[in-house]
Chains A and B, each alone.
Chain A
């Protein structure tokens, strides 16, 4: 599971460089997110613009990431593609997460590959 990271002074943007977060990759995703964020205290935004598909296991992994980040660093989401947006909406998880339409401009160019 390739996760790239962009750092700004108050925000860490994690770009998921995979087309799917599914049952076969959910644990990898969760572990990767834990490795990237556990030594940091900034807000975390997940860039899902490359992710064309998520299943319920992938959704569960995103919820798990939100939970281990804790209430003071609520996970934010950006760049939801239509299938991903559909899964969040049907499970009402769209009401739980702060969801941004786009990844902040310039975020990709600040890439710091992890």
Chain B
């Protein structure tokens, strides 16, 4: 009996935005008389950090300090439509909505500043909360003074609205799956390596190290995107070796009803996680960003299961890779069936074995 080390690798891709699109997000912005900025968006923050990310996009686009931004997503009376926080869309789709709203508010701001400075708005820029003349930075007016002038001198409200909608991509050939438009807002990419130690006596798989590289397009907030990737790694670890609603699936018996009987990852099993971020900007994302939040738990399970094979020479293709499954696989040491050119693994799991003779799910493997 011994402990065996192994390594595995994976490479994945994942779409940003709802599949087939058609998922609008809208936002609006108003500027208070002292230049402070209220952002109204309907994006729920589920811990993904979208309040922060969208506020950063607005601050950058308007040219004002981040702490001037108030972000309100609290109710549907004041906030406009956001299809929702899912499909990795809050940064890309909803982020583009607040970006457009901020651009429009910036134009209104420059219109008022242009009157105050008597300079064409095209020759003005906003830097750190001040509207300055391009090439003549001594000619300037603060954003608070512009907002005050709008309110008390011109009788105007500086606002901006924005909406992002990637049009619905229809399936025009249901037999082949062809679509008439790209069915996603963007696609993100990642690769992962896992190092495991497998105990062939207990069947326990310890994930010791993970290396993960994500192309995020642009890290709007590197701390938050690293948090997504590391948090995702922990969920991926759960998928790989711990979690299952039905321990004897497809049976529904012994379903865990509390944290004591449903194993989810905890801090004690946390492997060393090494994160590499690369930035190949997306053509359409806000500041080049893509959505990577969901895919963050996708690359670990196959890298870990491949590392288990590297360690002990057996493939476990039913998740999670529990000690029981590892021990059974070691005991059975199943070899694939070879026939002609074909190498056929997992026949015992296949519909060709389990389904009735005349089931429509059965199929032939060319040999």
Are A and B subunits of one complex?
A: no
- Where the two chains meet, the residues of A that have a C-beta atom closer than 8 Å to any C-beta of B are none
